[in-house]
A and B are shown apart, each in its own frame.
Chain A
Amino acid sequence: MSAPANLSPRSSRPGPSARDTILARVREALRIPAPPPHLKSLAAEEAAVPAAGQGHSGLSILPLEVARPWLPDGGDTPEERRAILVTNLEKLRAIVHQVPDLTAATELVFTLARERDWQRVAYHGHEKVDPLLAGIPCATHRVDAPGVHPASAKSALEACDAGISACEALVAQTGSILVSSATCGGRGLSIVPHVHLVVATPDQIVSTLGDALHEAQQRHAGRMPSMLSFITGPSRTGDIERILVLGAHGPKELIVILVG
């Protein structure tokens, strides 16, 4: 096919390493400071003053504790957050089911599987997911079961009609669902099957993206899962004449079951 494998491409040039060269160029370039951007809004201008004085701390001067009323609203109370979330999910063409309890959720999953004639569903073992699958009228494939060979796992997942997972958080502000490779089916479950079904409880709804990121940082302190993904509606494309089509490469349908 080609030349013999070159296992250390980084050392293919004589002289200082690329890292040293680039960092030297960066240091040299930054010797002349650039003025801060022309800010238009008074609030940010006020905020920028200490930033400039302290050698650019930028956004960090607008810490999480400070509300950001200039972003889209995510709601202040649990009721507001829930209402905004559901509205946003529906605008994104996700399917939202709000059920009172576990029994109702289990019935719903049963009905969905039967109506859609699911033959096999993939799931990630989780306290919120496991009870719902008790009576499901189809085969199940647990992606985090020990001893599954990675190569066969890809094809097994590809053969499933739906992926069922919990989530890390739901973001009211944008209608996003935060999933992680640690708890929500690795990297494949939420993207490979044609349907992604998320089971969540209202206490997982946060107001803003900032809140969700902050929570994730706290929860996984110092050891982030290898993937964290904000899912905002079913997969989509507008590449053909800018016309919206759902289900480009990822799930065509995103179903959210809110229990409680």
Chain B
Amino acid sequence: MATDTTTDGPAAAHAAAAEQSPRGAKKRFLHDAAESVRDVDHRAFVRKALGGYYVTRDAQKARYGNWETARDAASLAKWSAVNRLDELLPRFADNFTANGGQVHWARDAEEAREIILGLVRAAKAKAIIKSKCMTSEEVHLNAALEQEGYGVVESDLGEFIQQLRGEPPYHFVFPCMHVRRGEISDLFSKHLGTAATDSPEELTMIARRHMRQLYVDADVGITGANFLVAETGQISITENEGNARLTAALPRVHIALAGIEKVVEHLDDLAVLLPILATAGTGQPMTCYNTLYSGPARPGECDGPEEMHLVLLDNSRTAILADPEQRDSLHCIRCGACLNVCPIFKNVGGFTYGTTYQGPIGSVITPHLRGLADWNHLSGASSLCGACTDACPVRIDIHHHLLHNRRNAARTAPNRWEKLGHKLFVAVATRPWLFATGGALFRHSLKLLKWLRPPLLSDWLATRDLPAAPAASFRAQWASRQGGR
């Protein structure tokens, strides 16, 4: 069946534009955030979609003997690996090679694209099937493959829907959680010629039937990897649908793309990391398929790829590694728990971030990946409530890292107005007579401000009221009460 894979969503263009002109990233963020917050239906829809997650996650957490200790163990496993990457990365690569796989190292996104394009050309690929891989979103792999004329189909249901919509993932675990079933039905009718339906089951079956032959026809399968096991040279892939299993089973060549921070030392570490990833991410005891691959099919095995390649990507991960304060953000296992609990994410939505990795963890790491000056505004998109840190199964100190980013930004590019403001405050606060005069002036001018609507305040006042000014200052009230005693 010929598939019309032309896409029509504005978000891909949006994301690309954000990348090309990062100076506009903050402006766009503020604009899109305001738009999203205004869209009450959208917010209600996202909240409802997440409602079930809280229930199943809590039920599953209760099955742990001690969830907090499990988090400790998981964070220890990642800490111990990330802080010994110098030893474990070569060990993993050597073991993976000994198993018959080929390792390729990519310093940056461009090199990763070049390597994969080279492998695809060498395989003389006619069709490529892909399973969900956020790292490939990070390096814009699909665009590079399509530019060279290679058709590539996303097989994860959510990613497939997003591919047809021409949008990047809305959420890095739930790519199309913002899309209503009616829209999906229309999308499938338009691109696949199927009849309209409002049943999620029927829509899933449409995608399943469409994809079946594509797995058989594809010569190259591209996947990500959740963990790289140093001691055995295996990669571990976590998924629910079985599409990654099929992608790594049927095509002749299997290419996996993974960040260097995915290394763990022992196979046994997965006995903790796999269940904790599932529980934090989706509230499952285990994700449906957790699969270890150690290279191409072995002699004597009845199927499987003839070649297996693994592309190990740096792309500024070593820059995060070089910051001991925020090094733990490389512990991230991309479960998405911090997005699911974040009041900002739930209000501004996934696209507003304009990043590959949305939500709190995305706000921490994006400045490292794309530049602090242009992406520090994401650190301000936080209520600092700490829900992300509480939810993180590997104990990344997420909300403090947002503060660290703010501090670092202030150090490297001080904001003159902010500095002036602080100086002014110090000048006033250290002089009681000035403080009293200023306070009185402010109390009396509050009404005036509301009426004058100066440009600095007009955005705020458009949707909010100014508080009523008290008749007397706090100090005056305090003095009178003390006196009344």
Interface residues of A (CB under 8 A from B): 1-3, 5-10, 12-13, 17-19, 21-23, 25-30, 32-41, 43-45, 47-48, 51, 56-60, 62, 64, 68-73, 88, 92, 124, 143-144, 148, 150, 153-155, 157-158, 173-176, 181-182, 185-188, 190-192, 208-210, 213-214, 217, 224-243, 245, 247-251
Partner of A191, one of B73, B211, B245, B293: B245
- A27 engages B86 (CB within 8 Å): yes
Partner of B324, one of A32, A37, A44, A181: A32
Chain A positions within 8 Å of B242 at CB level: 191, 235, 248-251
Chain B positions within 8 Å of A73 at CB level: 63, 65
Task: Report if B137 contacts A (CB, 8 A).
Answer: no
**With A33-B83, A210-B268, A248-B242 in contact, do A41 and B303 touch (Cβ < 8 Å)?**
no
Task: Report if B321 contacts A (CB, 8 A).
Answer: yes
- B318 engages A22 (CB within 8 Å): yes
Task: Report if B107 contacts A (CB, 8 A).
Answer: yes
Chain A positions within 8 Å of B167 at CB level: none
Closest 9 CB pairs of A and B: A250-B242, A58-B80, A9-B118, A44-B72, A187-B249, A210-B271, A248-B241, A70-B69, A239-B158
A-B contact pairs, 5 of them (CB 8 A): A5-B118, A9-B117, A33-B324, A226-B295, A248-B243
- B107 engages A187 (CB within 8 Å): no
Q: A58-B79, A249-B241 are in contact. List 12 more A-B contacts (CB 8 A).
A: A2-B148, A18-B111, A34-B327, A58-B269, A70-B69, A158-B216, A186-B249, A187-B249, A224-B232, A232-B290, A241-B181, A242-B50
Partner of A59, one of B269, B284, B395: B269
- B105 engages A227 (CB within 8 Å): no
Chain A positions within 8 Å of B107 at CB level: 18, 21-22
- Point out which of B73, B207, B211, B284 has the most chain A C-beta atoms below 10 A from its C-beta: B73
Partner of B245, one of A32, A185, A187: A187
Give the docked Cα–Cα distance between A239 and B49 (Å).
10
In the assembled complex, the CB of B236 is this many whole angstroms from the nearest CB of chain A, namely 9
Look across to chain B and name the residue whose beta carbon is closest to the beta carbon of A217: B267
Task: Report if B157 contacts A (CB, 8 A).
Answer: yes
Contact indicator per residue, chain B 226-253, by CB within 8 Å of chain A (1) or not (0): 0000001010000011110110111000
Contact indicator per residue, chain B 249-271, by CB within 8 Å of chain A (1) or not (0): 11000000000100001111111
In the assembled complex, the CB of B54 is this many whole angstroms from the nearest CB of chain A, namely 11
**With A22-B314, A245-B200 in contact, do A9 and B119 touch (Cβ < 8 Å)?**
yes
Chain A positions within 8 Å of B453 at CB level: none
Task: Report if B212 contacts A (CB, 8 A).
Answer: yes
- B304 engages A181 (CB within 8 Å): yes
Chain A positions within 8 Å of B234 at CB level: 224, 228
- Point out which of B70, B99, B175, B242 has the most chain A C-beta atoms below 10 A from its C-beta: B242
- B291 engages A19 (CB within 8 Å): no
Give the docked Cα–Cα distance between A40 and B274 (Å).
20
Partner of B246, one of A12, A234, A250: A250
Look across to chain B and name the residue whose beta carbon is closest to the beta carbon of A64: B268
- B69 engages A226 (CB within 8 Å): no
Contact indicator per residue, chain B 381-394, by CB within 8 Å of chain A (1) or not (0): 00000000000001
- B246 engages A7 (CB within 8 Å): no
Task: Report if B184 contacts A (CB, 8 A).
Answer: yes
Chain B positions within 8 Å of A209 at CB level: 270-271, 274-275, 286
Chain A positions within 8 Å of B284 at CB level: 232
Interface residues of B (CB under 8 A from A): 49-50, 52-53, 63-73, 75-77, 79-86, 89-90, 93, 99-100, 104-107, 111, 114-115, 117-119, 121-122, 124, 148-150, 155-158, 161, 174-177, 179-181, 184, 200-201, 203-205, 207-208, 211-212, 216, 232, 234, 240-243, 245-246, 248-250, 260, 265-272, 274-275, 282, 284-298, 300-304, 312, 314, 318-319, 321-322, 324-325, 327-328, 331, 394-395, 397
**With A36-B79, A245-B200 in contact, do A26 and B301 touch (Cβ < 8 Å)?**
no
Give the docked Cα–Cα distance between A1 and B126 (Å).
10
Partner of A227, one of B71, B114, B201, B304: B304
Chain A positions within 8 Å of B312 at CB level: 22
- B241 engages A237 (CB within 8 Å): yes
In the assembled complex, the CB of B197 is this many whole angstroms from the nearest CB of chain A, namely 11
Partner of A26, one of B211, B318, B331: B318
Partner of B64, one of A2, A48, A72, A148: A72
Give the docked Cα–Cα distance between A214 and B270 (Å).
11
- A72 engages B275 (CB within 8 Å): yes
In the assembled complex, the CB of B388 is this many whole angstroms from the nearest CB of chain A, namely 15
- A37 engages B158 (CB within 8 Å): no
Look across to chain A and name the residue whose beta carbon is closest to the beta carbon of B114: A9
Chain A positions within 8 Å of B205 at CB level: 247
Give the docked Cα–Cα distance between A6 and B104 (Å).
14
Give the docked Cα–Cα distance between A34 and B297 (Å).
40
In the assembled complex, the CB of A4 is this many whole angstroms from the nearest CB of chain B, namely 8
Chain A positions within 8 Å of B294 at CB level: 224-227
Chain B positions within 8 Å of A214 at CB level: 268
- A230 engages B289 (CB within 8 Å): yes
- A226 engages B297 (CB within 8 Å): yes
- B285 engages A231 (CB within 8 Å): no
Look across to chain B and name the residue whose beta carbon is closest to the beta carbon of A191: B245
Give the docked Cα–Cα distance between A14 and B479 (Å).
76
Chain A positions within 8 Å of B124 at CB level: 5
Partner of A71, one of B212, B266, B275, B304: B275
Give the docked Cα–Cα distance between A99 and B150 (Å).
51
- A227 engages B292 (CB within 8 Å): yes
- B286 engages A185 (CB within 8 Å): no
Give the docked Cα–Cα distance between A21 and B111 (Å).
13
- A232 engages B287 (CB within 8 Å): yes
- A227 engages B270 (CB within 8 Å): no
Partner of B318, one of A25, A36, A57: A25
**With A26-B260, A34-B327, A71-B70 in contact, do A51 and B80 touch (Cβ < 8 Å)?**
yes
In the assembled complex, the CB of B295 is this many whole angstroms from the nearest CB of chain A, namely 6
Look across to chain A and name the residue whose beta carbon is closest to the beta carbon of B202: A245
Partner of B90, one of A18, A23, A39, A68: A23
- B69 engages A41 (CB within 8 Å): yes
Partner of B73, one of A62, A230, A251: A62
**With A232-B285, A238-B282, A239-B156 in contact, do A29 and B79 touch (Cβ < 8 Å)?**
no
In the assembled complex, the CB of B91 is this many whole angstroms from the nearest CB of chain A, namely 12
